[in-house]
């Protein structure tokens, strides 16, 4: 049987399991086991070897700690004071609370790295307030769902942690590489809101102008969060802690902050632990299944074949990398960002290296491309999270997010033309 037919059979089996209602990690695991036994004739104990290889990673232990930290902020609601303070600082801009949502998402992302937590938290706390004040759904829904994607890019990003562990790339360098693009994308989202409100003033009520005294007073509510971010990222960038150690410190400090604000409850603590365990187990199962499936693809010759196809494309390296981006955008309609990454990296990573692109740069650009997948149906995760907390239809949410695709595509273009946007800071720091 030819390589093409073997790969087609594997893909059909995997999609068959998914259509039957299986979670993607289970579908990949079942497909991997079937392919090992009946397609490539290899021992099934490779599942155990892959499990040990994935779980024996010090870098990936940062994942449950950062998830726990984000869950503490979500379950206690302590981050509401952060939103209120940021609102007083930026609400004078056209679009008012919309800018507060974007800025607060960026700051929250710098503490948790969880897009789902950010979308759920701000969707639950901000949408009713925006609705009451007269913000149109076309602006408020899009702002909430797009703002949540910033947590994927702004360090500490869970995707960048997993990418670094998977590709054996420095997570600290990846975090440094995501700083400038994260800030730029935040500004582009805010610029998009300003332009939309200027073109259609009915989208948002007139902005509230707070006095200078009120703005300055709000800084004291932001200060604890800035200290937390400084400790986490400062310790990583300064070499005082590994990302895992910084995640542990951040998890402890998040509990301390919730206690100081008198929002910590036993239920919130237990729920946060459960969230960390559930998400970590899902990620681990997915990584194990993807590692075995990658080995199957290696045995069948798919990785070499796919790499050869990409490298033989006419038009030079920028044409090839554009085709790769388009492939990810299409896959984003059907896979979540993590599944898509671990499925494709075995054959995309060698291509990126052969083309002369930095793996640090590619990790950051991939995250921006993956953000598009969070906003596209039928499997855009942020869409369903926001639907769950607001009760709005998916079609209404998708419609409201369309203008925010412009800054995302612009960010991809800028990073491709000016790779130093991602590479300059890690180059200076390390």
Q: What is the DSSP string of 179-201?
A: HHHHHHHHHHHHHHHHHHHHH-G
Residues 308 and 232 in one domain: yes
Question: What is the span of the domain harbouring residue 395?
Answer: 45-429
Total number of domains constituting the chain: 2
How many angstroms separate the Cα of 107 from the Cα of each of 62, 88, 94?
19, 15, 21
Identify the DSSP state of 205.
P
Which pLDDT score is estimated for 33?
85
Residues 29 and 63 in one domain: no
pTM of the model: 0.83
Our measurement of the distance from residue 359's CA atom to the centroid of its chain's CA atoms, rounded to an integer in Å, reads 17
- Average pLDDT for residues 30-57, to the nearest whole number? 80
* Cα angle value 72/73/79 (rounded, 5°): 160
How many angstroms separate the Cα of 149 from the Cα of each of 140, 298, 423?
15, 33, 21
Q: Give the contacts of 305 (CB within 8 A, at least 6 positions apart).
A: 3
**303 SS3 class:** helix
- The pLDDT tens digits for 118-173 are 787 788 778 888 888 888 988 888 898 888 888 888 888 888 888 888 888 888 89
Residues 243 and 391 in one domain: yes
Q: Give the contacts of 234 (CB within 8 A, at least 6 positions apart).
A: 240
Tell me which residue of 165, 170, 224 sits closest to 425, measured CA to CA: 170
d(CA 299, CA 296): 5
Residues 39 and 119 in one domain: no
Angle between helices 171-199 and 97-112 (to 10 degrees): 170
Residues 133 and 210 in one domain: yes
Residues 332 and 370 in one domain: yes
Which pLDDT score is estimated for 425?
92
Asked if residues 158 and 366 have their Cβ atoms less than 8 Å apart, the reply is no
How many angstroms separate the Cα of 379 from the Cα of each of 196, 289, 368, 394?
27, 20, 17, 11
Which pLDDT score is estimated for 112?
67
Q: Give the contacts of 306 (CB within 8 A, at least 6 positions apart).
A: 347
Helices (H), 301-430: 302-311, 317-331, 337-354, 359-374, 381-390, 394-401, 405-417, 420-429
How many angstroms separate the Cα of 304 from the Cα of each of 34, 148, 308, 321?
22, 37, 6, 17
Residues 191 and 339 in one domain: yes
Tell me which residue of 334, 350, 339 sits closest to 302, measured CA to CA: 350
Our measurement of the distance from residue 48's CA atom to the centroid of its chain's CA atoms, rounded to an integer in Å, reads 28
Of 94-103, 371-380, 409-418, the poorest mean pLDDT is in: 371-380
Q: Compute the mean pLDDT over every residue in the chain, rounded to the nearest whole number.
A: 84
> Is the predicted pLDDT of residue 45 greater than 80, yes or no?
no
Residue 422 in tokens: 């991602």
Task: Give the chain's length.
Answer: 430
Residues 89 and 119 in one domain: yes
Residues 169 and 198 in one domain: yes
Tell me which residue of 291, 302, 367 sits closest to 328, measured CA to CA: 367
d(CA 9, CA 90): 54
Residues 379 and 389 in one domain: yes
- Count of CB atoms situated within 10 Å of the CB of 376: 18
Sign of the Cα torsion 311, 312, 317, 322 reads negative
- Count of CB atoms situated within 10 Å of the CB of 317: 15
> Is the predicted pLDDT of residue 392 greater than 90, yes or no?
no
262: alpha, beta or left? (left if phi > 0; alpha if psi -120 to 50): left
d(CA 359, CA 363): 6
- The pLDDT tens digits for 277-329 are 888 888 888 888 888 887 887 787 777 777 788 888 887 888 899 999 998 88
Burial class (CB in 10 A: 0-12, 13-18, 19+), 387: middle
d(CA 170, CA 160): 10
Residues 26 and 59 in one domain: no
- The pLDDT tens digits for 83-125 are 777 878 777 778 888 888 888 888 877 776 667 777 877 887 7
How confident is residue 181, by pLDDT bands cut at 50, 70 and 90?
Answer: very high
> Is the predicted pLDDT of residue 1 greater than 60, yes or no?
no
Residues 417 and 360 in one domain: yes
């Amino acid at each position: 049987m030819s390589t093409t037919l073997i790969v087609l059979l594997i893909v059909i089996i995997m999609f068959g399991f998914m259509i039957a209602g299986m979670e993607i990690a289970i579908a990949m695991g079942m497909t991997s086991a079937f392919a090992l036994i009946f397609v490539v004739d290899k021992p099934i104990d490779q599942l155990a070897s892959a499990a040990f290889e994935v779980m024996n990673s010090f870098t990936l232990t940062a994942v449950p700690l950062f998830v726990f930290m984000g869950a503490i902020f979500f379950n206690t609601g302590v981050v509401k004071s952060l939103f209120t303070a940021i609102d007083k600082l930026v609400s004078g801009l056209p679009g008012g609370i919309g800018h507060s949502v974007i800025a607060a998402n960026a700051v929250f992302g710098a503490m948790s790295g969880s897009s789902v937590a950010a979308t759920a938290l701000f969707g639950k706390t901000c949408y009713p307030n925006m609705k009451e004040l007269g913000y149109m759904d076309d602006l408020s829904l899009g702002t909430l769902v797009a703002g949540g994607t910033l947590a994927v890019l702004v360090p500490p990003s869970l995707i960048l942690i997993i990418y670094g562990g998977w590709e054996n790339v420095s997570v600290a360098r990846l975090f440094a590489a995501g700083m400038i693009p994260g800030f730029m994308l935040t500004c582009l989202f805010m610029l998009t809101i300003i332009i939309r409100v200027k073109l259609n003033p009915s989208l948002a009520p007139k902005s509230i102008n707070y006095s200078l005294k009120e703005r300055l007073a709000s800084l004291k509510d932001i200060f604890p969060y800035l200290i937390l971010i400084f400790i986490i990222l400062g310790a990583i960038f300064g070499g005082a802690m590994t990302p895992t150690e910084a995640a542990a410190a951040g998890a402890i400090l998040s509990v301390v902050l919730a206690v100081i604000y008198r929002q910590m409850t036993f239920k919130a603590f237990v729920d946060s632990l459960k969230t960390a365990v559930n998400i970590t187990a899902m990620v681990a199962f997915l990584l194990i299944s993807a590692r075995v499936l990658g080995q199957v693809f290696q045995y069948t010759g798919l990785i070499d074949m796919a790499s050869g196809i990409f490298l033989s494309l006419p038009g030079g390296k920028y044409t090839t990398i554009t085709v790769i981006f388009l492939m990810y955008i299409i896959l984003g309609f059907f896979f979540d960002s993590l599944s898509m990454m671990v499925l494709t990296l075995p054959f995309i990573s060698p291509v990126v290296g052969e083309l002369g692109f930095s793996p640090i740069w590619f990790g950051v650009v991939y995250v921006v491309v993956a953000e598009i997948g969070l906003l596209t149906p039928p499997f855009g995760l942020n869409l369903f999270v926001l639907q769950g907390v607001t009760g709005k239809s998916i079609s209404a949410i998708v419609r409201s997010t369309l203008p925010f695709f412009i800054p995302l595509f612009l960010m991809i273009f800028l990073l491709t033309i000016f790779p130093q946007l991602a590479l300059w800071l890690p180059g200076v720091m390390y």
